Structure 1
Amino acid sequence: MVGFLLLFLPFPFLLYIAAPQIRKMLSSGVCTSTVQLPGKVAVVTGANTGIGKETATELAQRGARVYLACRDVQKAELVAREIQTKTGNQQVFVRKLDLADTKSIRAFVQDFSVEEKQLHILINNAGVMMCPYSKTADGFEMHMGVNHLGHFLLTHLLLEKLKESAPSRVVNVSSLAHYLGRIHFHNLQGERYYNAGLAYCHSKLANILFTQELARRLKGSGVTTYSVHPGTVKSELTRHSSFMTWMWWLFSSFLKTPQQGAQTSLYCALTEGLENLSGKHFSDCQLAWVSAQARNEVIARRLWDVSCDLLGIPLD
């Protein structure tokens, strides 16, 4: 028995030594597009940290006018100045956007519409994960309210500007966690039963269903849309869960960096020739498989109708 244990003692050390190679293997997929963006306008939600920050930085590096749409304006201002210094692009702006409050979303779009005549790239990146049960300002369960309904409303309100600016793109950041998600229409707000981990999974499934139905409705408009799995990224997304924060710390050597996590969002936003793949899901800068639930067109259409009803959007 002792000999058996001694045999495995070097394993943690070897795992640590191999971590860079393992992380490289798990971080395949790099956006190699050389597209430049002078004169183009982009909005990135949740751009004051993590994947969103890296996505906004790269768009600014390519010459776009970039709007950091964030709840924490003070933190975002610091990030904007950092991006301006790093890229030399002074057209990086911060605007208040709280996806947990539809009034804030509408105010953001109203102000943005006054400032900008066009919008070419919308990156719906912001999100919450494993929150204790709580509700948004409008009474929606926090995961579904922020991750899905908030971005649903934001995209809806910006659609005309996206169409007028075509060709344009919408990228929705989802997750591999969608495989565990289900859309329980009888319990969409988690009032009958609630599990923080599953609530996150449900909202990520909603992101993919929204992307597919949006693509169907936008066919021929010049606006295309894609959902992405960024990978398991070392970021602040786990801040609501002590357990997940500890797990992220324990396995930090194997996690993607935010820059690596941003690659698939950038790939879908920039790569030429993706128009015929509108509505598809991507991971590591290539097409990725989704769950059977995520391919269900009936659920996608019903979720669209229910979302419109909850948000007071007239049905088409």
Structure 2
Amino acid sequence: MPLNIFTAVVFNGTDAIPHFDLMVYRVIPIVATIVFIKWMFKGKKNIWERNLHGKVYILTGATTSNGMGATVAYDLALKGAQLIILSSKMDQFTTDFIYDLRTKTENELIYSEYCDLSDLSSVRKFATSWIDNVSPRRLDGVILMHGEMQPIMGKARYKKHQSKDGLEMQMAVNCIGSFHLLNLLKPCIKAQPPDRDVRIIYSTCIWQALGQVWPEDPCMSEVSFISHKFFASSKLQMSLLLVELHRQLVVNDEKEVKGAEKGDKLSRANISTTIVQPGIMRSGTLRRVLSNGSVWGLLIGYLGLLYPFLWLFVKNGFNGAQSILYSLYTPEFERINLESADGKYTLGIPGCNYVVNCDIQSKFYKKEFYDIKLQSVLFNNLCKQIEHVEKTTAALKNKVKKEAQVAPVSQEKESEAGQDKKASISKRSQKKKSVKGKSKSFKK
């Protein structure tokens, strides 16, 4: 068919092709414009490669179907890494996801562990089991790609959802649970050998530019609830906490190795912390926000009206994952390259970076990132609040457990008392019957 068209154009001219002018002057420009817009808005693609055989990574938010997390997990597994995928639901879908990932990548070192980031006791249980070893387990990176966002329109934005610990759900998942996990894993990260390149990556959102910081009340337990305000603040506070956590990891390690020999550049593991802005993606969170949590909003508003524009102007999960993969694979975060950078870091801290569209940014645009005192106060107060919440939740669980244990005992006692009562009544009735029988025989 293409050969026939070509020969017709050569021997008979373009007039031999029906609607040729329409195709050239109308259809082709429209298609070219669509392709150009699609190419421009998909963002940069990661160009780095890295051998990950023998490396171990902990991932969150990796079980979303065709999302950013699934793309990152697939790429890491394809390169031979061992993956510990944390999931809040150990159901059939998670099992099938892990099985499919193993089959497609031919990598059997992919595991799923239960860890509900909205439940502090679940986070502590996983982290404790991870670090509770005589020799520290290998850990080459922690990649946090999860997110929770509630509807932001109408009355739904004032409807507050609480976690098992009584915390606001967005704050619990996006900030408190994530911080709790990293803070508990801090001894394991610091215990990694000197030649190891440990990378902590957190996926934030452009909404953090609208967030506020509450250093005296990091859990925002006494703040009036508005959905988008809590989401933006949770992302901003988690980014600030990550900066302070990295500062503690790096500075404390430098103090601990003062006695090391001079010129020993491998006195501690190379720990890099990266806050990644993947951009707006066609994710489950975006679907929930635009549909306002309604089925009709999803079918009519999102799929019917908005999807053509979203397909054209918004990234898919694969393109959104490129900045995460860049932060994992780029050699710019390795020790030798960090030392040759002459202290030119995003925040002036070695290894603390901000990546947008596969590019390291020279600075943050929120002044809170440069307020060390604010970050320290936020860090310490959140640790205290988490400890208080954990103690309160544990006390309530113990109370409920004791009541549950007492209830069966009381029921057993009541049943035994009832049985004794019935037995005594039956004995009395038998005695009465025997007395009546004797009296009748006496009369006879």
CA contact (8 A) 1:125 1:173 kept: yes
CA contact (8 A) 2:145 2:203 kept: yes
Aligned residues: 300
The Cα offsets for residues 251-287 of structure 1, whole Å up to 9 and x where unpaired, read as 3212111111111112112211215452221111112
Instruction: Report the equivalent of 1:3.
Output: none
The one-letter code of the counterpart of 1:137 is K
The Cα offsets for residues 225-267 of structure 1, whole Å up to 9 and x where unpaired, read as 1111111111112354324864563532121111111111121
CA contact (8 A) 1:211 1:279 kept: no
Alignment of 1:1-316 (within 5 A): 18-49=33-64, 50-74=67-91, 75-113=93-131, 117-130=137-150, 132-165=159-192, 166-185=196-215, 188-189=219-220, 191-219=222-250, 220=254, 221-222=268-269, 223-238=271-286, 240-241=288-289, 242-243=291-292, 246=301, 249=307, 251-253=309-311, 254-275=313-334, 276=338, 277=345, 278-288=351-361, 289-312=364-387
The Cα offsets for residues 16-52 of structure 1, whole Å up to 9 and x where unpaired, read as 9744432321222222221111111001111101211
The one-letter code of the counterpart of 2:214 is H
Distance 1:267 1:199, change over 3 A: same
Query: By percentage of residues, which structure has more helix?
Result: 2
Distance 2:166 2:31 in 1: 45
The one-letter code of the counterpart of 1:214 is L
Distance 1:23 1:159, change over 3 A: farther
Between Structure 1 and Structure 2, whose CA radius of gyration is higher?
A: 2
TM-score, with normalisation over the residues of structure 1? 0.86
Greater relative contact order (Cα < 8 A, sep 6+): 1
Instruction: Report the equivalent of 2:415.
Output: none
Distance 1:58 1:229 in 2: 19
Distance 1:177 1:85, change over 3 A: same
TM-score, with normalisation over the residues of structure 2? 0.62
* Contiguous gaps of at least 5 residues in structure 2: 1-28, 152-158, 255-267, 339-344, 346-350, 389-444
The secondary structure found in structure 1 opposite 2:85 is strand
CA contact (8 A) 2:214 2:220 kept: no
The one-letter code of the counterpart of 1:77 is T
* Contiguous gaps of at least 5 residues in structure 1: 1-13
Distance 1:179 1:90 in 2: 40
Distance 2:277 2:76 in 1: 19
The Cα offsets for residues 264-311 of structure 1, whole Å up to 9 and x where unpaired, read as 112112211215452221111112343223433332222111211112
CA contact (8 A) 1:212 1:280 kept: no
